[in-house]
Amino acid sequence: MRASSALLSVEGYGIGTNVPSTPIEEPTSPNAMPEQLRRDFLERTQIREIGNDTKTHESASKAAGTAEVLRIEGSRATLLAEWSGCVLSIDEHFFYASLKGIYGEGIRGESEEADVPISDVSESDMELLHPGHFFRLCVFYEISEDGQPRRYTQVVFRRLPAYRKFDLERAESIGEDLFRGLRVE
């Protein structure tokens, strides 16, 4: 599927959801993925494709000044940009994070660092605000019912699968084997 021909909708995106227990990989653009990988991505992130609405697509992209947008089903919002972030440290008012661009023109694949206001973190996500934890930073664009354009950013912490006892025990075993095989002087 060509990158410019698909519109995707995001449903219940990340908020309060537990994604399936799969390896944590940073997705590239869903539109640019091979079909199987793309289907996996859509399933994992709960993004649902709603078809090729060229007119809506063009309208949103023109208003936002970018050819690449994702419309959010059930809302007027259009996704302009998205980064996968990891919290590195936390200050009084900001947290410092590494970001990897995963969606948007001039954004995808780029590594960045940023300060993000802690006030942008929802109360329900505050428990996840710790170094090493992952989140998504999104920029949305929408036109309100009275025709007013609005842009906004959203920080959503990812509720990754929990470490499983079985996996940890297996890792411990591998680590033990690795350690026993090392010759230390």
Partner 1 sequence: MGPGHGEAIVAHLGNGNWMVVDSCLDLEHEPSQSAPLKYLRKLGVQTANAVKLILVSHWDSDHIGGISLVVEASPAAKFCCSTAFTQREFVKFVSAMSVGSLATEGANVSEFHRVLQILNARKKVLTAASPGRRLQKDPIITTWSPSDYEAQLFLQFVAQEHPKAGQPMRRAIPGSPNLTSVVVGIDWEDTSVLLGADMESHVDDRRGWGAIVSTAMTTGFAKSNVVKVPHHGSHTGHDDRMWQKLLSDDPISIIAPFGKGKVDRRPPKPGDVRRINELSATTYITARRQPPKSQAGMPLAVRRSLREGSIRFYSSQSTMGIVRLRRKKGQQWTRELFGAAVQAK
Q: Should residue 178 be labelled a site residue for partner 1 when binding is judged by CB under 8 A?
A: yes
Reduced to 3 states (helix: H, G, I; strand: E, B; else coil), residue 114 is strand
Is 12 a binder of partner 1 (CB under 8 A)? no
Q: Is 126 exposed, middle or buried (0-12, 13-18, 19+ CB in 10 A)?
A: exposed
Using CB under 8 A as the binding criterion, the count of chain residues that bind partner 1 stands at 61
Q: Does 153 sit near partner 1 (CB under 8 A)? A: yes
Q: Are 120 and 94 in contact (CB under 8 A)?
A: no
DSSP secondary structure letters along 24-81 = ------GGGS-HHHHHHHHHHHTEEEEE--HHHHHHHHHHHT-S--EEPTTSS-EEEE
Among 34, 74, 147, 181, binds partner 1 (CB under 8 A): 181
Using CB under 8 A, pick the residue from 59, 120, 129, 143 that binds partner 1: 120
Considering the complex, state which of residue 35 and residue 165 has its C-beta at the smaller distance from partner 1: 165
Closest distance of CB 28 from partner 1, Å: 14
Task: Kindly list the distances between the CA atom of residue 33 and the CA atoms of 27, 50, 57, 109, 111, in Å, as whole numbers in the listed order.
Answer: 9, 17, 20, 13, 19
Largest interatomic CA distance in the chain? 73
Q: Please tell me whether residue 105 binds partner 1 under the rule CB under 8 A.
A: yes
Residue 13 binds to partner 1 (criterion: CB under 8 A): no
Contact between 58 and partner 1 (CB under 8 A)? no
CB 57 within 8 A of CB 69: yes
Q: Segment near partner 1 (CB under 8 A), from 6-14, 30-38, 40-48, 153-161?
A: 153-161
Could you tell me the smallest distance in angstroms from the CB atom of residue 99 to partner 1? Answer: 8
User: Judged by CB under 8 A, which of 10, 104, 125, 136 binds partner 1?
Assistant: 104
Tell me how far CA of residue 46 lies from CA of 14, 73, 83, 166, in angstroms. 8, 12, 16, 26
Is residue 55 a contact residue for partner 1 (CB under 8 A)? no
The answer to whether residue 92 forms part of the interface with partner 1 (CB under 8 A) is no
Please tell me whether residue 159 adopts helix, strand or coil conformation.
coil
Neighbours of 137 (CB within 10 A): 21
Tell me which residues touch partner 1 (CB under 8 A). 21-24, 26, 64-66, 80-81, 86, 88-89, 96, 104-107, 110-117, 120, 128, 130-134, 137, 139, 141, 151-153, 159-165, 167-168, 170-172, 174-176, 178-179, 181-185
